[in-house]
Chains A and B, each alone.
Chain A
């Protein structure tokens, strides 16, 4: 298990993220916080999960459940360059599948795998919302349009050689860790990066036609009055304030994570939420956990490395084959479960 200690800068950023959301709704900061821990480690590690749990007053299971739901949170170390090839239907029929297959063979890696030099992580992506530029691929989510197998291979070779090819319409490339800071909601600090990129021709095609033929929508008068006889209220009627005091790290109160979650989900609930057993934090400090519990946790962590393939447990060919083999041998021995010593069919 990693023993990352997150930097003071990351902690300061975490406070800034949490301050964006209403004080009693700090859990909203979880997605940006997961991007943030990914910016430091290149993936969401058990330490990253623990960090998010600590600053939000959640438990690790709650954070882990969220982190494992979303594709962009990587569960094992990634390369500097995340190369995503769209293989959804449109890009697929236009040649995206060949691009992906060629890259996989050229790099010697499959979906969600990283090259031996640690530079490139390859993945096939679902629709990237640039169908008019298809087939497309992205490097750290910035677009390269109209790719073919040759240009894609050239692109990854350039990346591996230390070059930084220019995206078709986005900003100059930054590493995946740098990109994760932006995803956590921080501005791109690089001089001029926001200005990078020009509109692609497909985005402008309808406009160019209209321009060439002098077409605009007639009758547009920006001074058209807004109908209605009510004057604007001197001070607009306001809904209740949502609170904006920034809680500090760690979580602002000592509620148990279950209670906090229940209150967020059902603020109007008439019935008090019973605290879940074993999770209540006493007011005067955290009691030491029994030694056997700590030992069990350590053993569990060692025995269960984080899944790296973004698949549910057992959803791989090897496990399927093993199940089939076991089922077969079970069948032969009269269904007595003799092959079940691994506990696969309990």
Chain B
């Protein structure tokens, strides 16, 4: 493997991932030796408003996909309203391709717990929840252990570090529903209902959990907070770009030599990431990739130099999402890949909104027909028409996300569809597989 060039290596910014190299960092003793809970001691001496201002100054944006400015979100919580406030951490990692939060919670759970305490202090919440994906059992084991350790040390519970601030933190396991990664569906699920999204407004900032002011943040967002408190907003902004500050964990998977987690300065390009990851696997050439999970429109080899920050990817017609970079080669079929993603959206649609529930159901069937060599040219129009009727016509982003790979694959790889329809590509699905895969 060739060594990446120094200017490419300089894009690496090990911050949130750094403790993963210490095998015992999930224990509170080791964590404390590695700057652990120093940020809490510092933050709890400051005024909560100054902490919100600090996060605003840092330019931190949400790591869960939407990139909303975190400080602004915290600032929306009405203060002095006499209502209970809540912090809810979205640890329901499930976007296809995304695999950054699970290792963080497994190898460095205390950084999340510390971030939760600081954020709760800033927004004046006395209860916080971490809603963790049910299947993430080992991460949950470590996280529950970390919470118990933090209680025992007085970092959680009553009168934290003698400040008079109280906080109860509960780790709440989900039960296998992708939709619960959507913040309002997550809140419904946490209230003990089916996880179905709510119409907004009102937003969670005023009517969130139990109809009270609530901040919902991603794991990566909250785990960033202690570093900003320690190093300061100016240091944080030395990483990333002007509008997308800080480091970001890029999750590379697929047809590359060394898939894995690469924490880099925001705005790194896929060309640079591929250089860090040892390039494509031998015999594979880049054909298409997702910049941030399956809900973000596909990009191609012509987008190798797009800066992977919120603005850069938007400029290329896609979304940065969760920086889950799934890389496919000329040996992978974009039609089949899209079909498999649609099976996922069909399965995970909560059924609340008709366009998403019905649209995905029928699009899956159109794809099966195309892949079985029985598609028609009209099917392509049907797909685009269906997407038109889903996009923007459902409560939440699941429906929108489902259309991303359909419209983008039709945009860049229409020929691959036509090859199935006109019989130049051998059918990928047999008639047998046409009958209910789910």
Residues of chain B contacted by A278 (CB below 8 angstroms): none
Which interface residue of B6, B173, B337 has the most chain A CB atoms within 10 A? Answer: B173
- Let me know if A279 is at the binding interface, CB within 8 A: no
CA distance A255 to B9 in the complex (A): 63
The answer to whether B14 touches A206, judged by C-beta atoms less than 8 angstroms apart, is: yes
> Which chain B residue has the least Cβ–Cβ distance from A111?
B438
Binding site for A on B (CB under 8 A): 4, 6, 9-10, 12-15, 17-18, 20-21, 23, 26, 35, 38-39, 42-51, 53-54, 57, 79-85, 93-99, 101-103, 106-107, 121, 124-127, 133-138, 140-142, 144-145, 148, 163-166, 168, 170-178, 189-195, 210-211, 229-232, 234-235, 238-239, 247, 250-254, 258-264, 276-277, 294, 324, 326, 328, 332, 336-337, 340-341, 344, 347-348, 350, 435-436, 438
In the assembly, what is the distance between CA of A132 and CA of B328, in Å? Answer: 13
Q: Which residues of A contact B324 (CB under 8 A)?
A: 131
Pick from A66, A130, A187, A242: contact of B145, CB under 8 Å? A187
Asked if A89 is an interface residue, CB under 8 A from chain B, the answer is yes
A29 to B253 Cα, complex, angstroms: 36
Give B122 Cβ to nearest chain A Cβ, in Å: 10
Total interface residues on A, using CB and 8 Å? 107
Q: Is the CB of B235 within 8 A of A220?
A: yes
- B326, A131: Cβ atoms closer than 8 Å: yes
Contacting B at CB under 8 A, from A56-77, are 56, 65-66, 69-73
- B173 lies within 8 A of A35 (CB): yes
Query: How far does the alpha carbon of A287 sit from the alpha carbon of B195 in the complex, in Å?
Result: 34
A55 interface residue per 8 A CB criterion = no
Query: Shortest beta-carbon distance, A89 to chain B, in Å?
Result: 4
CB pair B137 A183 closer than 8 Å? yes
Pick from B126, B164, B172, B193 the residue with the most CB of A within 10 Å.
B193
Mind listing 12 A-B residue pairs with CB under 8 Å?
Answer: A73-B176, A127-B94, A132-B99, A134-B253, A140-B137, A141-B135, A142-B138, A204-B261, A213-B6, A232-B45, A232-B47, A236-B163
- A160 lies within 8 A of chain B by Cβ: no
Query: Contacts of B21 on A, CB cut-off 8 Å?
Result: 204, 207, 211
CA distance in complex: A65, B148 (Å): 33
CA distance A128 to B174 in the complex (A): 14
A187 touches B12 (CB 8 A): no
Among residues 230 to 286 in chain A, which have CB atoms less than 8 Å away from a CB atom of chain B?
Answer: 230-242, 244, 264-268
Say whether B135 contacts A21, CB under 8 Å: no
Q: Is the CB of B163 within 8 A of A131?
A: no
Contact residues of A between 1 and 55, Cβ < 8 Å to B? 20-22, 25, 27-32, 34-35
Dominant secondary structure of chain A at its interface with chain B: loop
Closest residue of chain B to A179, judged by CB?
B137
CA distance A66 to B188 in the complex (A): 11
A299 at the B interface (CB under 8 A)? no
State the Cβ distance, B360 to closest chain A Cβ, in Å. Answer: 13
Q: Are A267 and B210 in contact (CB under 8 A)?
A: yes
Interface-centre pick from B47, B137, B168 (highest chain A CB count, 10 A): B137
Q: In this complex, which of B57, B97, B138, B239 has the most chain A Cβ atoms within 10 angstroms of its Cβ?
A: B138
Tell me whether B189 and A31 are in contact (CB under 8 A).
Answer: yes
In the complex the two chains form, what is the Cα distance from A31 to B294 in whole Å?
Answer: 27
CB distance from A311 to the nearest CB of B (A): 8
Contact (A194, B48) CB under 8 Å given A185-B173, A226-B54: no
A71: B residues at CB distance < 8 A = 175-177
Query: Which residue in A206, A224, A240, A264 is a CB contact (below 8 Å) of B12?
Result: A206
- Chain A positions within 8 Å of B254 at CB level: 90, 93-94, 131
Residue of B44, B231, B250 near A220 (CB, 8 A) is B231
